[in-house]
Amino acid sequence: MTEKNQKRQDILNSARALFKDKGFHSTKMEDISIEAGVGKGTLYEYFKNKQDIFDEVCIEFVDLIIDDIKYISNMDNTFKEKLLILFNEKLKMESEFANMSIDNILSSKNIISEKTVKTIIGKISEMYSAICSIIDQGKKEGVVVKNIQSETLACLIVGTMSEYLRLKFHNKEYEIKEDDVIFNLLYNGFAVKQ
């Protein structure tokens, strides 16, 4: 990574931490410059304003989620193992980036720019595509019912995962195991009946 790219990334990392801890409105450009170890003028060399930084942080976060799901999809594991890994990776991200989820970002319309909302909505199809490839693997393995569209199952997984992980995170539980009741209900709901 070039020095210029590294400095830009340092600014984004610092801003993400501040937005997480203080919120968008309470974070000032000066706070970001101090946290990133750069002059306030340097911030403006890379970003137009705080809104520009926030939008970039949100897009970068969504890209991290997508990259993570694609990585899981390409792993040499069974469908069930990948599903469990997917749940735990999402839970890990929820704990690392408290209050940052795609749902939270998109519901922050008074903060996030319309252009960024459109960008993120476009990226969501990438996320679902990666999850569908995991589901398709389960169908090939013969453990997932074939008569339900993969996109429908992906919605079921994402919705269940988001709500359940919010509850786990709230209760300060940071791991999901194979015998977890919700994981079992979800998995057995679309598993091929033996």
Is the confidence at residue 165, as pLDDT, over 90?
no
The shares of helix, strand and coil residues in the chain, as percent rounded to the nearest 5, are: 75, 0, 25
Number of domains in the chain: 2
CATH code, domain carrying 131: 1.10.357.10
Tokens at 128, concatenated: 């679902």
Residue that the structure tokens 């199952």 belong to: 153
pLDDT in tens, 41-90: 999 999 999 999 988 988 888 898 899 999 999 999 999 999 999 988 88
| Sign of the torsion formed by the C-alpha atoms of 60, 63, 68 and 71 | negative
Amino acid making up residue 46: Y
Q: Which domain holds residue 130?
A: 49-190
Cβ neighbours of residue 61 under 8 Å, at least 6 residues apart? Answer: 16, 97, 100, 105
Average pLDDT value for residue range 125-148: 95
How far is it, in rounded angstroms, from Cα 69 to Cα 127? 7
Average pLDDT value for residue range 152-179: 81
Is the confidence at residue 100, as pLDDT, over 70?
no
- Exposure string for 153-164, b = 16+ CB within 10 A, e = fewer: bbeebbebbeeb
pLDDT in tens, 4-51: 788 999 999 999 888 888 888 889 999 999 999 999 999 999 999 999
In this prediction the pTM is 0.80
Is the confidence at residue 119, as pLDDT, over 70?
yes
pLDDT at 191: 83
**Is the domain of 21 the same as that of 75?**
no
**Is the domain of 25 the same as that of 54?**
no
